[in-house]
Amino acid sequence: MIKESRFTTKKIAYGAIFVALSVAINTMRIGSISFGGFPIIFSGYTLGPLMGFIVGGLADVVGFLIRPSSTGSFNPLFTLTSALTGAIPILTTRFLGDKYPDYKLWKIFIGVFVGQTITSVIMVPIFTSLLFGRNTIWFYMWKAGIKQALSIPVYAILLKAINDIIIKQFDFR
């Protein structure tokens, strides 16, 4: 019996496309507003949580090489949050009972909400406060929470709409 690999050439190629999309979108951000996390989350939904985790981590590293942060230093803590951005939403959605490619909008919303709350609203502000000591952790959490209150519904609706259209053309598995 032949065991199927988790890392097929097809999945690796799609993962590379998602990394490139995330880096390109993140590079074109306006101030602190960016939708670079969307391709990372979408990769988790289409390729699975492990590939979503890998895509998120690679997107952060490649993005830093192309556009270094304002502090000028690389920190793997932020790479971890980016990687978890690709894994947590799909794991949550799967926990709620949905499987690829049939996702319900409300379950995607919950998945994205849980993922973005853990990574963007909790982890990133904690790491930023600990590493740079600027302002307070509550300031960063409040700022991230406002941004995510706008981003989460947009991500969920885009995920559902794009998934429903793309699944007719591509089989990511």
The pLDDT tens digits of the residues spanning 14-61 come to: 999 999 999 998 877 776 677 889 999 999 999 999 999 999 999 999
For residue 13, the surrounding DSSP H or E stretch is helix 9-27
pLDDT at 169: 87
Q: Whole-angstrom distance between the N-terminal and C-terminal Cα of the chain?
A: 20
Is residue 23 within 8 Å of 66, Cβ to Cβ?
yes
Q: Closest by alpha carbon to 53, among 44, 62, 42, 45? A: 44
- Asked if residue 56 lies in contact with residue 82, where contact means CB atoms within 8 angstroms, the answer is yes
Sole residue written with tokens 């302002």: 135
Residue-wise pLDDT tens digits, 96-108 = 999 988 999 999 9
Nearest to 131 by CA among 173, 50, 69: 69
Burial of 20 (0-12, 13-18, 19+ CB in 10 A): middle
pTM of the model: 0.91
Mean of the pLDDT values across residues 120-132?
Answer: 90
> Please, what are the domains in the chain?
9-166 (1.10.1760.20)
Sequence-distant (≥ 6) Cβ neighbours of residue 33 within 8 angstroms: 147
